[in-house]
Amino acid sequence: MKDAVAPLFEPLPMGPITLANRMVMAPLTRSRSKVPGHVQTPLHALYYAQRASAGLIVSEATQISTEGQGYAWTPGIHTDDQVAGWALVTDAVHNAGGRIFCQLWHVGAISHSCFHDGEPPVSSSTWTPEGQAFVGDYHPDGPTVPHPEARALRTDEIPRLIEDYRHAARCALAAGFDGVELHAANGYLLDQFIRSSVNRRDDRYGGPVENRIRIVGEILDALAEEMEPDRIGIRLSPTGGAGGSHDDDPTGTYAAAAKLCAGRGLAYLHVVRPNSHGGGDAEAAEAVVPAMRAAFDGPFVVNGGFDAEEGAAWLTDGRADAICYGRLFLANPDLPVRIAAGGPYTEADGDTFYGGGAEGYVDYPTLHRTEPPT
C-alpha cells in the first residue's frame, strides 16, 4: 500500500464500536424495495454485505413514516415487516464483519400526493419545489411528475413528527442497526426548516437561525432518549440537494447547526461539502466546512467527490476523521482493497442507480475475481 493512502486504514473509535478503517460508505438510494410494504429483501442483504469492508456503512435513506416518503420503491423503517427486512441486512453485514447505521429520512416537500392518499406533502412552509418527483409507476403519468405544493406543518403537529423519528429509531435498533444517521441534508424536510429560502414560519421554528435549527435539536434529544448518543450521527449539507432550496448565509447557518450538534457526545457529524460546479460563491463554499468542523466536537466525516488520495490528505492534516465515498463504493464493493492496491476502479453506471433488480446492484466485480461476489 502506498503511504499516501495509509491514513484511510487507521481504525476509528466511535462510541461502543471501533470502525476498522476510516472509509465510510455513503447513503445511496437505490429504489429497489419490495412493494407493497417498502421492505428490504435478501437481495439488499447481499448488496450491503458485499460492501461490509467499509469502516461504516450508512444505509440508503429510509423513510421514518408514510408521510416521509417521496420516491418510488424506497424502504421504510416504521413497520414490523420493514424491521424484519432490515434485520436480514444488518445480520449479513455483521456476519461479514461490518458496521451499519440507518439513515432516518423524511423528504418533506420533495414528494407527491400519490404517496399520501392524495393529500399534499408537508414542509416547514407552503412551498413548491423545483424539479420533478420520482414516482415510478405509483402515478399514471410517471416515472416523473411535477411536485405539487406542500403545506406547512402546523406547530401542534411538530411533537407528532418528533415521535415519528423516535419510533423509527426504535425500529432501527430492533432491526439490529449499530446506530442511526439523522438525515438533515440535501434539501429534505429538516433542511426545509434550516434553509432561509423555504422556512418562512413565524413560530418558534422559523425566523432567526436558532429557531430554524431548533427542530433538529429536538429530534436529537428524542433520539438520545432511545439510544446512547454515541450511536447517533447526523448528516448536513450547506448547499445543494433536491428542490432548489438555499440558505442566505450557509456558513453562519450551518456552523450554528454544527454547534447545536456539539456537546451531545454524538457518534459523528457528516458533512456533504459544497459542490464547486454549483456556480455558487466558491470562497464561501471553502469556508463552510472548516467552520462546521471548528463548531463540532466529535468525529467529523466529509463527503463529496473525494478520491483515495484527497481523502487521505484530509485525514493527514486533520480536516476530517473519516471520508465518506458514494459512487466509488456503489461500483467497487471491495473499495478498501482497491484503494490499498492503487486501483483500478470500476465506473458507476448511472442507468442502474434507481429501480430494477440485481443488475447494476450486486453484480459489480471485485478486484480479485471476475465473477461478481456472492
Q: Which positions are annotated as active-site residues?
A: 188
Q: Decide whether 30 or 212 has the Cβ nearer to ligand FMN.
A: 30
Q: Which stretch binds ligand FMN (CB under 6 A): 110-118, 178-186, 255-263, 280-288?
A: 178-186
Among 189, 272, 301, 340, binds ligand FMN (CB under 6 A): 272
The C-alpha atoms of residue 15 and residue 13 are separated, in whole angstroms, by 6
The C-alpha atoms of residue 26 and residue 328 are separated, in whole angstroms, by 9
CB atoms within 10 A of CB 191: 30
Tell me which H or E stretch contains 253: helix 250-261
Q: Decide whether 179 or 326 has the Cβ nearer to ligand FMN.
A: 326
- Grid coordinates belonging to 269: 457529524
Q: Whole-number minimum distance, CB 276 to ligand FMN, in Å?
A: 12
Regarding 186 and contact with ligand FMN (CB under 6 A), the answer is: yes
Residue pair 77/175 in contact (Cβ under 8 Å)? The answer is yes
Among 5, 23, 27, 238, binds ligand FMN (CB under 6 A): 27
Regarding 134 and contact with ligand FMN (CB under 6 A), the answer is: no
Q: Decide whether 98 or 206 has the Cβ nearer to ligand FMN.
A: 98
The two most distant CA atoms of the chain are separated, in Å, by 59
Regarding 102 and contact with ligand FMN (CB under 6 A), the answer is: no
Among 231, 235, 264, 293, binds ligand FMN (CB under 6 A): 235
**Phi, psi for 227 (deg, rounded to 5):** -155, 165
Residue pair 323/268 in contact (Cβ under 8 Å)? The answer is no
Q: Decide whether 103 or 192 has the Cβ nearer to ligand FMN.
A: 103
Residue 113: strand, helix, or coil = helix
The C-alpha atoms of residue 192 and residue 246 are separated, in whole angstroms, by 9
Q: Decide whether 299 or 311 has the Cβ nearer to ligand FMN.
A: 311
Among 7, 142, 280, 305, binds ligand FMN (CB under 6 A): 305
Size of the site for ligand FMN (CB under 6 A): 21
Q: Whole-number minimum distance, CB 151 to ligand FMN, in Å?
A: 24
Q: Pattern 59-98, binding to ligand FMN, x per CB under 6 A?
A: -xx-------------------------------------
- Grid coordinates belonging to 170: 426504535
Among 226, 314, 220, 222, smallest CA distance to 265 is for 220
Q: Is 370 buried (19+), middle (13-18) or exposed (0-12) by CB count in 10 A?
A: exposed
Can you give the binding site for ligand FMN, defined by CB under 6 A?
26-29, 60-61, 103, 183, 185-186, 235, 272, 303-306, 325-328, 353
